[in-house]
Amino acid sequence: MSVHGSDNLMIPLTNYGIPCMSMGFLVDDVAPIVWRGLMVMSAIEKLLRQVDWGSLDYLVVDMPPGTGDVQLSITQNIPIAGAVIVSTPQDIALMDARRGAEMFKKVNVPVLGLVQNMSVFQCPNCNHQTHIFGSDGARQLAETLGVKLLGDVPLHLNIRETSDRGKPVVVSSPDSPEAEAYRKVASAVVQRLKEVRP
């Protein structure tokens, strides 16, 4: 990881104009990350305050599912504009999503809404659609929680292949339905942020 200047800030990796930093960049490629408590907060502090983020419109923090040390440390130490809960439509994932949403509500972080990931699989050969993980689970949970469904992201080979090549689907196939799904979610998040922070 490279650093610069007298302040010794880490330089984030940047792809298509979007800077990125990860706990995974701070450890060996094959080393497991089994941090708890103070180690988690120390790593989060490094990622937030010791990185040269430059001028940002938004800072998105991708957290593991659940209600563990990472979530609690961030919510207790950093002002958060809102949380986006991402879940597949299957029941077991929705249980974690609900716990996460309830935790954010309890600590007064607005839940901007839910995103239903892997909502439908479309066969690349015949275009038949299959709801492998169930249908509309996140939509139903959003209604139960009284929050918005921000969008659906399909399970599509193109998304995985382009991500693996380091060229996201919104760049590599900007006119595809998959790219449109991501743009729709991004627009919905921005709109919700305007609503909760006018």
Say whether pTM exceeds 0.85. Answer: yes
Residue 11 DSSP label: P
Please give the residue range of the domain that contains residue 100. 80-196
How would you class 132 by CB atoms within 10 Å of its CB: exposed for 0-12, middle for 13-18, buried for 19 or more?
Answer: middle
Residue 191 and residue 94 share a domain: yes
Distance CA 103, CA 68 (A): 10
Does any domain span residue 152?
yes
Predicted confidence (pLDDT) per residue in 1-27, tens digit:
566 655 789 889 999 999 999 888 877
Residue 130 and residue 171 share a domain: yes
- Number of domains the chain contains: 2
Does any domain span residue 166?
yes
Predicted confidence (pLDDT) per residue in 110-160, tens digit:
999 999 999 999 887 888 899 999 988 999 999 999 999 999 999 999 999
